[in-house]
Every structure is written in structure tokens, then in C-alpha cells.
A and B are shown apart, each in its own frame.
Chain A
Amino acid sequence: MKIKFTYLIISGLIALLAIPSRNTMEDIEILTTNTEYVAGKTIVLKFSTTNDEKTSLYLSNSYGTTIIKPIIDSDFLNFKIPELLSNKTGVVHWKLLSKESLSGKFYIRPEQKTETIETYLGPPSIGAGGSDFSMLVVIPTDIYDNPLADSTKITVKHQFLENQINDIIIMKNRIAYKNIYSEKKIGRILVSSECLELNSKESTLNVMPGIPTDFSISFQRNHEYSDGNQITTFSTSIIKDTYGNIVSDGTFVNFFITNTLKNILKTSGTTVNGIAVAKMIHPDHKENWSVKAFIEGMAESNVIELSYKSIISDFEVRFTENNRTITVGPLKSFMNQMVPDGLEVLLSVYDGNQILKILSKNSSKGFTTFNLDNNTFPSKSYTLKIKTAKIEKTFPNTKL
């Protein structure tokens, strides 16, 4: 009996404890059935309740999470979703922070009305030829800066030369994109886009020339004499790429000049309207040049040959003041005129076979004068060699 009585009491207590807990569980349930909203519209989640318990609602979307308090309306709990969340598209998860948790989610989709269009185009310049491209990314957004829904149609328009092309692309994963390929001509492609009757601003895409092709070169000079005082100008033909476009201004062209001694001289030019011009000073002695130009790794020119005639076949040397003053000249040019100032004259002083000093002077008014002072060259016999325009004269055993 005793055992039965105890059992009764215990089971009675259990029943008493169990009843109210079941009651609260049944108390709260969601009344709102809508699970899809439009961004910017007021969203209220309604729950039924029987007691006055102030349960909070935990909300989470891709921007973050928050907890809100309800507005109690007799038997209902109304949760007004804050604008911060209701203006953003995407899934919102909610969870009621009551003893027995209740959770769910709803979806906010954008309003299908374009407010702004974000466009990105890059790179801003591409090469001609049809293989290079630039990508246009379009993101139409609604008034709350939400990208429009996937599958929204966007018209991408681009203009190049006479052509104007419209393409329809479809939004996927909240963006839409299009690769815009270059054509064979250079120029400027203007790109814009349209979505639900709203047009974007204009973007610019420059199509630059491609790889240059072989070209020819020519030269121009005032005369054919090697007076060291004129400029020979080399120029290229108009350099074009594979598609016939003139290469971009500033393209660097290297001119290599191989001279009689097989030494490689060098000049360079950059193109303006496809033509590169390089300059070189005339040699000061008889010379044959063969010239070839390169755009390294990409293009080259034909070889042209130039020859320069000597202007001086012979010159006079006068010794005065105990051979210490040496006057070279008159140095006469091709019409027997005096050579222009600046022709280099070299005087090498040898003691026997040993070179003591090389004196270098530029001619002035057709003459060059060397003074050998007795500080540097004590009285003695020296061998003197005088060289100009690659013509050398030797004066052995000159007594100073």
C-alpha cells in the first residue's frame, strides 16, 4: 500500500509538472505565411501568444545579424523587420528566442525596377586583331542598391566605326557580363548598357594596333661626303601591323649601322604616324655603311647601303719654332673649301716605338696647331704621327 501511495504521489507530481510545460509550447506559433517579399516593403512577422512573455526574434541575413523586440498586440507578437534588413535582398533567417525555439526563413527579392546601373569595363585598352577582349560587367540595381533578380535581361550596346551592335545578356548570380572582342581595325569602342529602360553611362575601350610587320627604310642626306658635319636621316616606311593599322606613336625602332670595319653603330627613332626617323652624323672619313632597322622580336627592314666619299686626300704639315709648333693644314674639303670647324686631328708622339702621348685637337678655320712645350717634351728626337680623316702621316726623328 505504502508503495502504491508513494507511486501515486510521484506520478501526480510528474503530471502536474508536465502540464504547464506542454501548454507554453503550444502557445507560440507563426501566423505569417508569406515567405517572399519585395525589398523596401514593410515586413511584419506575426506570432500568436497566450502569455505576456516578451520573446525576442533573432534575425540574420548576409549583411549581419540582429535581435529585435516584438510589439505586443493582445494575443499576438508582431515583429517588424527593421529597414536595414528589409531593404536588402536575399534570404533572412529568423529564430524565436523563446524556451522552445521556433525558426524559419523568408526571402526578399529586389523590385524589378532599375535605379542605377554599375558598369565596369576592363582592361581599358586592347589589341586589334579579334583575339584580345575586354570584359564589361553590368550590375543593374534597384533603389536600395540591390542587384536585380537573376535572368533579368540587359542590352549591351557597343559602337565601333560604322557598326553599332546590341546584344542581350542575362543576369546570373547578380551580375551580367559580356566579353567585347576587338576587330581588325584600331579605334575606339564605345560601350553602354540598358536594363529595364534605364541606360548606363558611356564607357570607352581603346583598340590599339597589334604587332608591327616588316617595313622598309630609306635615307636622306645633303651630300655624300664624309665631312663629319652633316646629318644623314634614316626613315622607315609607314609601319603597320598585321591588319594594316599604323603602329602606335612612339614605337621604338632601332637602326643598326655596320661600317667598313664591321663595327656596329646604332641610332634609333620612335614612330610618328608610323614613320620612325633616326639621325646620324656623317663620318669624318671614307666609309661604307649598311643599315638595317629592327623592332626587336617583331619586325625588321631591308638592308640599305650608303657610302661616304673622303673629303681630304692629303694635308700639309708645317714645323716652326724648333719643330715645337706644328701646324696642320690647310685642310681642304671637296670643293677646296676649308673644312668646317671641328675635324679631329690626332698627334701621336713616339719615343722610338714607345708612345708618349696622343694629343687631340679640333680644326679651326681649316688649321690645327699643336704646341709641344719643353716641359713635357725635353729636347730630343721624337717620331710624330699626325692623323686626320683616317689619313696618317709619319715624321720620324723629329728633333725638338
Chain B
Amino acid sequence: MKEKTNKYLIVALLIGIAFHGTSIFFTLETTYDALIHLFFAEHYAGNWFEPWNDKWYTGFTVMSYPPLVHQSIAALSYVGGLKFGMFTVALISIILFITGVYRFSLLITSNKTAAGYAAILAVFSSSFVETLHIFGQLPSIIGISVLMHSLPEIYLWIKTGRYKYLFTSLSLIAVTVTSHHVTPIFGMIFFIFPLIGMVIMDVSREKVDSAKAITFNVFLTSFLQLFRRIVSFGMLSLAIIVGCLLPYWINSKANPITQVPIPHGSRDNFLEITSSGLVFFLIPWGVLLILLPYIFYRYYCKRYLFFGLSITILTVLGTGGTTPIPRMFLGETAFNILTLDRFTLWASIMSLPLFGEFVYRFVDGDLKDLIQKKFGAIYHRLIGGILAGLFLFMTIFTMSLSYFRPSQPQKIKMLPIINFLNQDQHDLWRYMTLGFGDQMAWLSAQTNAMSVDGNYHSARRLPELTTRPIERLENSKFKGVEGVGSLQQFLTTPEKYNFKYIFSNDKFYDPILYFCGWQRLRQLENGIQVWEKLNVPPVSTILPKDDVAKWQKILWGIMPFITVIIAFILNIQMFIVNALKTKAKAIPDFLKFKNNYTKFSIGVLKITHIWSIILAISVFYGVYIFYVKNDSHHSPENAILTYYDALDFKEYEKAYDLINPESKLPMDQYMLEISVTDGLLSSYAKLDAIETIVLSKTDSLATVKVNTKWITPLEKINKTDYKYLVKHKNKWYVQPEEIGSDLPPDQLYSNNITKYFNQGRRRITTEQTHHEDILKQPNLEILSAKLVKHNNSYALIGEVQNIDNVPADVVLKGTLYNNDDKELATYNAKYHIKHKLMPKEVSSFKINFEGIAWSKIQDSIPKTFNPDEFTPIEFEEQPTKFNLQIAGNVSNSDLYKGATLSDLDISEDLIKGKLFNSGIEEVTIPQLLFTYYDENKNMLWVDHQFISEGIRQQRQQTFEYPVLKNDDITLINEDMKNCYVNGLPNKSISKKVVPNRINNQTNTVLQPIINANYSFIKIEINTYIGSPN
């Protein structure tokens, strides 16, 4: 018998390559994972046999991910570069997937036409489109595709017992495991076990006359008959799974994942968090949802019974946190480690053969006849049109999802950053990116410089990272308290990580960088702002690494390609034989078990109809709920929510649409009023929660109390506003607020200020900066320093003065010791200091000793966000002594001193006052430092406050500061003998530079306050200028 080429498969391949092959160029680079794989590939391209990578997380091992896909990209990159490699591998994965689905479908349906239909449908199936074009999970696709290729071979081995099939199936399992380790493990359970069940059924079927005659006894005897083959296959494939990735398993045993689980959308309750429901349930299932009754009906027939069980489990597990079943089934640990979206993906892939079968029966099979007979030809065409339309809609919707709701920031041109890192030996320090999304992996792949961050969270090693459920520091603002809390620890003590440069693509982080003592360098051509930190030593030339045995490195380097080559030799000769059709080939055994496609069950048709109606009703209900929630004028609450939402996303036109049209506020006036407001709240805050309480409501008027919680990079801001709403033509509108009419005194005014410029290296040379060009470190003096215990935490407080003639950037590092001189803790000054000091300027400071927050995994992590979260370090022993190291470096940025204190009103609880901006820059975030003194004018404590509104030039801004009360302050040590400035004893510098210091000179101008603990207070002003002129 001459075998014909399946034209449907050819069509599927052609369309698949044309469709996906062109679109990957627009989608793959913006997916979540593709660039990470590219980064790994770059590693192999450079060091094929060295698994240690220093570029991320102060070093990690690439043995933490199966290497086949990465090594393939790396090998191809020698031909045409990394991206060429990635796209080529993506194309291969598309071909493998389509052919894999075909072979799997042929195995299941035993019908070439149905399998051909399945192959075509697979091209457009929304789960595949999502996995490839949105998630970019190349290893996972290749893994499942090769697994599907292996299924017919496994069937034939168990059925026929010919060793040829054993080898082919094992060779394919080996390829699967080297490309994705999870796929064969779960594939064993969810694909191979049911398949074995099916083989036993088929063998049993051959023994009896009809399917009905298969009793348990028959089944058992068949099972025992095949037992040797099943076990031999099972043991051998287990050996392969372990053997091929042996270094991986050794590594995971040596470095078990002890980190806090990272939240994943696939574990959400899909009904509550609808966006997760969409991405992890609706999209992967797509049109298959309508066919669920058919799929279950078919898979629960006797032959496929085990597939029926398997798909049921997969479907249920894929629902994530919607029902408690997955959590119970998997157990707490596995539930929190696994991403559950893969179960839905596998379920949808498992459904594809039956989808093909259904379409085949619908297009030219018994279903067509049945529907035409029952409902007429028009109805058949209509239903067909609707189904096809829905199917294509889901495909297009999935493809365009990242276009309408980009998961990644705009594509960033990396060249300026790479040039920056290559210049002036900038790559001798570690860097971090902020707001790059997964593009950070592409940057890492292109530069030799190392990052403190990384994009493969399973490999993280620093306890500062592993104890937080955050994927990357890079996008920490989306991770709430843990995110920014983690980030600020890195920003405060960057010396620890030799971390000097930050590339910021997100203005949101600017304030925290500034107040942690970082300074802006310049904006690169691509709009990326570079920040740097002074006084950070470069990375040492020899870095620690976890080395592994040579045999592991060699095995890891050659095993993946060996598996591919063996699989190729074993399988391709069969393919070639097939393709050339040189000899008539025996029909594979599974084709002997034909299905009966002549009598479509009327019951199933009925149930499918009812099911479709239920689905349609829920969809319409969902849309209705969505509409009611989003019709902004429907109720006062809706109007307020939409209004705040629009302001939060800076959609001012939308916000303006909600302003009472009767207020006669012109659009441009409204825009102008918004544009002049600046500050922490209006420029750097993200709305976290909003609560509306309708205080009073009449038919046409409403007063709403709006409690808002804003996340800013520095602190959480709670705000209560009272909004007035009016009803106009049956729609609710927000009454606009009046803006301040304060007129500044001067139209044009001048200010003489001293500006500085540092040449850097004066010679144009690639050598190290010439010693003549290195500036002297400015002399600083520690005027006072003491160790105090405030309530339950320890802190170093004091005052520092720049006694030099040049402006200085100040870095303070405090270390605490116990009586036996054992070091207990070390930390840097964060917010409580003016990091930049003009000549002779003084700043109070405080060093809080912060522990790694939630360092014990069992510590409960607060659910609410608080960027200002402070975890006091837990001291095992009592700190009694301290060492204070201050380093000064010449700085010429952020030296604005124009803010003044223009009014004060002091009461027992509250200090109210006004700040006046007398200079020529707009102050974006003013910060007040409050130093408390006792009745003898001895310093006791330092506190701070950020003012959430900015101050425009020659305007005033009010502030209210609640005075600290009921504090328990103990002075522990005020011995300053261990204070050092630029490595020299503070005392000797002080003696030499300011020998005749007038001590406590400004004590006469301390502000008296009425307070049980404190008698005097000093107020200092620090300012952040968002956009310096």
C-alpha cells in the first residue's frame, strides 16, 4: 500500500511557519521569557563548559535550567548572532509542535483526516499562541512537542515489543528532558500513563469481540502480559530523565530552593482577579471551552478512559486558586512552587486531537449530517461560522494582547548603555536596571558588566533576595512592600555589592535614589537616566564561585546535543524512509483501532448546546458587570473611582470628562492647573487603594469622603479628601476644586549661586585616572555622635559638618559592637542626613540598623504595602560601642539650598509651618529633618518627614509634623574615639582644620518645644529637585 502525504499536515506546516514565523519577529522579544533564554544562550556561547555565571545575583549556576534550547541558540549564534539563533530555534519549535500534534492526534483518533484537522487547529490554538507569543516559553514548547512525538513510539513499543520502538521512544524522552525538565516528569503522569492504559485497552480489545466485552479481568491479564515492557520502559526512561540532567539534579540537591514563594497569577482566584483568569484560563482554553462536553464525553469512553482521568485532573489543577482542590491535591509546598498555567496548557494540548476530530465530524462527518437533518443546512453553516469566528477571534485577541496591554516597557535601545558601561571602566562595578522589564536580560547578554539583580529567580543566592517573594528588584514597585523594601536595602548599602550604577527607565524610583544618597549622572541618548553612587569600591578581580566536578561540566556541555543527534539518527532514518516512500510500510498498530464516525451522539449535541447557552449567559453577565462597574457616571462612587483612576494613570482628558460641565472650567485651564502641581503625591505616587464613603446624597448632590492610599517610593501616604458631586442630565459629575491663587512676588528675578564642575580625567586616555586628576577627599568633621536606644531599636545619631572648601557627598557607615568588641551590625545612613553638604554646612544624621526584613521565612509578611517599612535588626547581644566611618567625595550635583522655613506654629502635639522656596528651582520633594534635644540641649533623636507636595519658585507650602511623644530614649554610648573621616581619626582632623571651634554655637537658636521627653528641636530642610534646570 502506498502511503499518501497528508495534505492537511502540509497545509498546517505551511500556514504555521508563515503565520508564526513572521509574527515572532514582532512578539518574541517582548515576551516574558524569551530574552532570559537568550541570556543563558549568550552564556553558553561564551563559556560552553563553565556553568558559573557572574553576571547576575553576584554569581549563579546555569545548571539550574536544562540546557538544550540555550545551547542550540548558542550554537546557532556562531552562525548569525544570538537573535538569529533564537528565531531559528523558535521556528524549529513551531515545526516540532505542529508535527507533534499531528502524530499525537493520529495516535488518538486513528484517522488521518481528523489528525490533519487537529494539526491545522493547533497552528491557531490560543494556548500555543499564548505560550509562544506572550510567554515566550521555548523550552516548554519544544519539550511538550518532542514528548508528543515520542507518544506513538511508546505505544508501538508496548504494543509490539519491538526494540526499535523502545530506542526511538527513549531517545525522544531524552531530548524532552534536556530541553525542559518538568515536561517529562509531569508528562509521564499525565500523558504516558494514560497512553499505557490505552495500549492495555487496545490489547484487551484484540482479545475480545467488542469494547463492551473488556472486563477488568481481561484488562488485568493484558496488563500482566505487557508488564515487562511497561516496567522496562518506565525504568529506562526514569534513568534517562535522571542521567541526562544529572548535574541539574545534583545542583538542586546541593542548593535546594529555600526561597519564599513568588506569587504567580496562575495561583490566583480567577473569579476575583479577572486578569489572571483571562490569561491563565480563558485564553489557553479558548474555543475549547465550548467543546468541553464533547472532549470529556470522548475521553471518558472506554478506550481513552485514562486520558479522561488525566484531562480532568489537568483541568482542575489549571484553575489555580479558584477552588481549594489544586491546593489540597498538590500540597501547600508544591502548590506554591509550581506555576499552574502549565496544567491548562497541557489540558488544551491534550484536547487538540479531539478538537480535530470534532471539526472533522462537523465539517464532513456524521455531526454535519446530524445537524443538517435536525436543524437544517443554514443552521449548520451559521454554527460553523460562529465557531470559526470565535476561534479566530481568540487567536487574534491573544496575538494582540501584548499590543493593547503591553507586558513590557517600550523597547529600549541598548547601545548607549553598552557604550556607557564600556567607557571609563564603568564595567568594573555592578549595575542595576530599573523599569526595564525582561529587557534587562538582553542588556546583560550584551555587556560584560555584572548586575546585582537578575531575571531567573530560582537561582538567587543573596538572602536579601531569596527571603522576598519578588522576581526582580528591577520591577520592585509592582511588588509592593517587599519590592521597594528590598530595593532600598541595596540602595543604602551599595558598597557591599560593589554596586555603583543604576540605569533608570522609570521616574518613579528617582526620589528613593536621591534620598538614599545617589546622584544623577546624565541622561543617555535613549532617554535612560544614569545614577551613580560615590565611594563604592570596584568588584574584585577574583570572585567566589561554587565549582563543580569536571565530569559534570563535560556531561552538561555535550549531553544535550548527543541526545539530539541520537534521536535524529534513530528517528530521521524512519522519516526519510517515510518521505521517500521507497518501501511500503506496515500500518502502525494504533491505526488499526478505528473510531466509528458515523453516528454522532444526540445527547452530546444536546449537552453541548445547553453548555454553550450557559457559557453565553455567563459571558454576557460578565460583560454587564464590567459595564456597570465601569460606567463612570452611573453613581457618585463610580464617578469618584473613575476620576481617581484617570488621575492615577495621568489620563487628564478622561478626568476632565468627569468634571461638572456647569462649572464652566475650560479644558485647557484644567490641564494647566494639573500641570503646575508637582511633588511626591502628584508625580511619584501610585494609587494603591481607594475607599469611598458617601456621607450624604440627595437626588442631585452628593458628598463623598474619599480615603486613598498611595504608594510612593519613599513612604505610604494616606489621604482623605472630601469630594462634592452633582447630578447633571442623569449623570454624576465631580465638582472641581479651587486652586490656590497665591501670586509670587517677582516676575523675573536673579540668584547668584556657586556652581562646580569636575573635569574627571583631564587627559583623553583609556588608562586609569592620573593621580593629579584625582581630587582630594573633602575634610568632614563629626561634631557629635552617640549610640542611643529608642524604644526597642538602636541607632547612631549625631551631626556632621563639611569643613572643607568644596561641596561634599557624605557616606556614613556605622558599626555596633558589644562589650567584647564583637561586631553586631553594620549599616549606612539612609534618609536621615543631607547627603550633599556645601562648605561649612552641617547636617544631623541618624543610622538605623536595619535587618533583612522577614529574614525568617516563617515571619508573616504584612499584606499591606509600606515602603517605609523598617525591620529593626535583632541583636543577640547588647550593643555598647560603635564605630563610625565617614567618607567625603567631591560632588557637584544636588546642591540646591533655596528652601527656607518661613513660618512656624508650635503646639504640644503638632508643629505647623510653612516652607518658602526662595531660589530658582522648583522643589519636587521637600524633606524635613527634626533633631530633638533635652533640656540641656543634648541631642537625643533625629526624625524626618517628607512633604507630599512640592514647592514652586517663590511660593510657600504648608506642613504639619506630629511631635514624637512617649518615646523611651536611652543614651548608651557617646564616646567618639572610634569616629573616622576618610579613614583618619576624626579628632586629629578636627584639631588640625578647626582648632578653635566654638562648641554648641547655635544652641542659642534651637526651637523650644513643650514635650515630656524633649525640650528643644532643630529643623533642617533637604530638597529633591525632580528636573534640575
Q: Name A residues whose Cβ lies closer than 8 Å to a Cβ of B.
A: 120-125, 127, 131-132, 203, 208-209, 211-212, 229-231, 247-254, 256, 258-259, 262-272, 277-281, 283, 292, 294-298, 300, 340-342, 361-364, 373, 375-376
Contacts and interface: CB of A to CB of B under 8 A. Distances in A.
A362 B754 contact: no
Given A209-B805, A231-B746, A376-B722, A341 B900 contact: no
B1006 A295 contact: no
Contact of A264 (B701, B745, B905, B1007): B1007
B999 to A, nearest CB: 7
A124 B903 contact: no
Interface in B191-241: none
Given A251-B838, A298-B840, A264 B918 contact: no
B901 interface: yes
B743 A252 contact: no
B724 interface: yes
Q: Can you list the 3 inter-chain pairs with the closest CB atoms, starting with the nearest? A: A342-B742, A248-B805, A279-B918
B754 A376 contact: no
Given A248-B805, A267-B918, A281 B902 contact: yes
A294 B1007 contact: no
Contacts of A253: 840
Given A231-B918, A265-B902, A342-B743, A298 B997 contact: yes
Contacts of A248: 805-806, 839
Given A124-B775, A280-B916, A296-B842, A254 B1002 contact: yes
B703 A298 contact: no
Contacts, number: 164
A399 B900 CA distance: 42
B996 interface: yes
A281 B752 contact: no
Tell me which of B837, B997, B1001 has the highest count of chain A C-beta atoms within 10 A of its own C-beta: B1001
B777 to A, nearest CB: 9
Interface of B: 695-696, 698, 701-703, 722, 724, 738, 740-743, 745-746, 749, 752-754, 756, 771-772, 775-776, 783, 801-802, 804-807, 837-842, 895, 897, 900-906, 916, 918, 954, 956, 992-994, 996-999, 1001-1002, 1005-1008, 1019, 1021
A298 B895 CA distance: 21
A267 B997 contact: no
B903 A212 contact: no
Given A250-B895, A252-B840, A375-B701, 7 more contacts: A231-B918, A270-B897, A281-B745, A283-B903, A341-B743, A373-B724, A375-B696
A263 B842 contact: no
A122 B773 CA distance: 11
A240 to B, nearest CB: 14
Given A262-B1008, A280-B900, A296 B740 contact: no
A77 B772 CA distance: 51
Nearest to A127: B993
B772 A281 contact: no
B1001 A120 contact: no
6 contacts: A250-B754, A250-B838, A262-B1008, A264-B1006, A280-B900, A300-B998
Contact of B901 (A258, A266, A271): A266
A264 to B, nearest CB: 5
Contacts of B702: 375
A375 B701 CA distance: 8
Contacts of B776: 122-125
A198 B220 CA distance: 104
Contacts of A279: 900, 918
Contacts of B838: 250-252, 270
A389 to B, nearest CB: 13
Nearest to A249: B754
B918 A297 contact: no
Given A266-B900, A280-B902, A375-B703, A252 B839 contact: yes
A264 B1003 CA distance: 12
Contacts of B783: 297
A297 B1007 contact: no
A263 B1007 CA distance: 6
A120 B804 CA distance: 22
Tell me which of A127, A250, A283 has the highest count of chain B C-beta atoms within 10 A of its own C-beta: A250
Contact of B752 (A259, A266, A277, A294): A277
Contacts of A267: 900-902, 918
B233 to A, nearest CB: 66
Contacts of A292: 1005
B807 A250 contact: yes
Contacts of A269: 897
B956 A281 contact: yes
A375 B695 contact: yes
Nearest to B724: A373
A230 to B, nearest CB: 5
Contact of A342 (B738, B740, B904, B1005): B740
Nearest to A364: B741
Contacts of A121: 772
A360 to B, nearest CB: 8
A361 B698 CA distance: 27
B724 A256 contact: no
A277 B750 CA distance: 12
Nearest to B722: A376
B841 A211 contact: no
Contacts of A132: 992
Contacts of A278: 900, 918
A342 B743 CA distance: 6
Contacts of A123: 776
A364 B742 CA distance: 8
Tell me which of A230, A272, A295 has the highest count of chain B C-beta atoms within 10 A of its own C-beta: A295
B904 A212 contact: no
Contacts of A258: 1005
Nearest to A204: B772
B743 A229 contact: yes
Contact of A252 (B742, B897, B916, B956): B897
B754 A272 contact: yes
Given A120-B771, A250-B754, A266-B901, A362 B805 contact: no
Contact of A125 (B745, B805, B837, B1007): B805
Contact of A362 (B741, B745, B771): B741
B906 A263 contact: yes
A297 B805 contact: no
Contacts of A120: 771
Given A212-B840, A341-B741, A362-B740, A296 B754 contact: no
Tell me which of A248, A249, A283 has the highest count of chain B C-beta atoms within 10 A of its own C-beta: A249
Nearest to A262: B1008
A124 B999 CA distance: 29
Contacts of B775: 124
B763 to A, nearest CB: 13
Contact of B742 (A266, A294, A362): A362
Contacts of B756: 250
A119 B752 CA distance: 39
Nearest to B702: A375
Contacts of B997: 297-298
A354 to B, nearest CB: 17
Given A211-B994, A296-B1002, A263 B918 contact: no
B801 A342 contact: no
Contacts of B746: 231
Nearest to A266: B901
B840 A295 contact: yes
Contact of B904 (A230, A263, A296, A341): A263
A251 B743 contact: no
Given A250-B807, A297-B998, A281 B918 contact: yes
Contacts of A362: 740-742
Contacts of A229: 743, 745
Contacts of B901: 265-267
Contacts of A281: 745, 902, 916, 918, 954, 956
A208 B779 CA distance: 13
